[in-house]
Structure 1
Amino acid sequence: MTSLYFLGKTILTLCLYVLILRLWMQTARVNFYNPFTQFIVKITQPVIGPLRKVIPSIKRMDTATWVLLYFVAVMKIVFIYYYSMINQPIWSNEYLLYAIAAIAHAFGYLLFWLLLFRAISSWVSRGQSGADELLAQLTEPLISPIRRIVPPIGMIDISFMIFVFILMFLNMFAIDIVGYLWLIL
């Protein structure tokens, strides 16, 4: 049972990551000719394409992707409560609110991993690959305000570390607010 729980939770979390990336890439207006960007669009298009015919966009907001993201988050919450040892009903209206926490949790962890990959790739490829360009387009709007306050010290840019500390603080704060649910997401 543990292996099925791990597999289901991992698949649902990866789906959340992919949908968040698609929305984030649209918002950041990244280079859509990048192979990784094309990959994200191609794997989500079979579901989002037909959904857009039913749920139209509102101005520049991709409501079909937002609805799908929220639906996957609700599925993850239901799955976690169904397979975990918590004595909860299979469905509760609270799960609709918990889905927002699941999206925030996935976004925070995705942001952490993207920052980590960007830092490691800056040591290895030094901005020469398409992945570096994409990571910079996604994370630079979040890092640049910190860089303006705390400029690089010589050759060392500590803005990433400061942002990761902020993410860690927000994670601890979410544990204080949401409690056990945040830990099992």
Structure 2
Amino acid sequence: MLGGLLSMILVTVGGFITMMLLIRTAMRWMRVSFVNQLGQFVLATTNWIVLPAQRLFPSMGRLDLSALIPAWGIQVLLTVLTVVLVGASFGNPVTALGGVLAVGALDVVKSALYLLMFAVIVGAVLSWVNPHSPLAPALNVLTRPFLAPFRRVIPPISGIDLSPLVLLLVVQIALYVLQHLRGAFFMLIIS
């Protein structure tokens, strides 16, 4: 019971840090200004890990490797700690290492998909409740590339854009597939 509780706390804290690192990566990739409340919060919560990582992992164009690689490293570490805390044993070292690295990468993708879902939902709610919110422009820039293909195919019905609903369905399908892949790779770790 104590191992499960500790695992839950570590996964929650690690997941939060991973999300902040992914937001930082996405904001840099899409050239969203950090001169707003969201940007300042992301910088304040991630500078402690990103600034030292910049010496090891320089950026490649707009891709911020100093934020993305630590996010993956945190997920790899969380996977190892989860296996240890639940009392499972590692199997073959080579396949276990490959499984841990793959599960970490899948968890980063899963976190990015959850982040996209959150941004789409909050953006849709803000468009109805407070379209002039300071957060609205950043969310719009972050979600626009994902909504654009659906907006080209699905016309608005009575002025209501249904593309966020279709995108959320596609993301849910992707999360379902990722969960099954994660389970398969997790079996490599403990078998």
Please classify the TM superposition score into its range, dividing by the shorter chain length: 0.7 to 0.9
For 2:101, give the aligned amino acid: L
Q: How big is the shift at 1:180?
A: 6.8
The alignment status of 1:145 with 2:146, answered yes or no, reads no
Question: TM-score normalized by structure 1?
Answer: 0.87
C-alpha distance 159-110 of structure 1, shift in aligned 2 (>3 A): same
1:153-172 aligned within 5 A: 153-172=157-176
The one-character-per-residue Cα deviations of 1:21-60 (angstroms, maximum 9, x if unpaired) are: 0000000111221111121012211221122123333344
Specify which of 14, 20, 23 is matched with residue 22 of structure 2: 20
Deviates more, 1:105-114 or 1:62-71: 62-71
- What is the CA–CA distance in structure 2 between the aligned matches of 1:138 and 1:58, rounded to whole Å? 20
Q: How big is the shift at 1:147?
A: 0.6
Which runs of 5 or more residues in structure 2 are unaligned?
187-191
Which runs of 5 or more residues in structure 1 are unaligned?
none
- What is the CA–CA distance in structure 2 between the aligned matches of 1:3 and 1:175, rounded to whole Å? 22
For 2:138, give the aligned amino acid: L
Specify which of 69, 72, 76 is matched with residue 70 of structure 1: 72
- What is the CA–CA distance in structure 2 between the aligned matches of 1:169 and 1:157, rounded to whole Å? 21
Q: Is residue 114–residue 135 contact of structure 1 (8 Å, CA) maintained in 2? A: yes
Q: Point out which structure has higher relative CO (alpha carbons under 8 A, 6+ apart).
A: 2
Specify which of 129, 132, 144 is matched with residue 128 of structure 1: 132
Q: Percent identity?
A: 23
1:54-133 aligned within 5 A: 54-84=56-86, 87-89=88-90, 92-93=96-97, 94-125=99-130, 127-133=131-137
Q: Is residue 75–residue 107 contact of structure 2 (8 Å, CA) maintained in 1? A: yes
- What is the CA–CA distance in structure 2 between the aligned matches of 1:60 and 1:175, rounded to whole Å? 29
The one-character-per-residue Cα deviations of 1:53-112 (angstroms, maximum 9, x if unpaired) are: 233333443222222122111112112222236x23297302012111111111111111
The one-character-per-residue Cα deviations of 1:140-182 (angstroms, maximum 9, x if unpaired) are: 1110111111111112111000001111111222234333778
- What is the CA–CA distance in structure 2 between the aligned matches of 1:134 and 1:116, rounded to whole Å? 14
C-alpha distance 123-60 of structure 1, shift in aligned 2 (>3 A): closer
Q: Is residue 77–residue 102 contact of structure 1 (8 Å, CA) maintained in 2? A: no
For 1:116, give the aligned amino acid: I
- What is the CA–CA distance in structure 1 between the aligned matches of 2:11 and 2:181, rounded to whole Å? 22
User: How large is the Cα RMSD of the aligned pairs?
Assistant: 2.1
Q: Give structure 1 regions of 4+ aligned residues with deviation exceeding 6 angstroms.
A: none
Aligned length in residues: 180
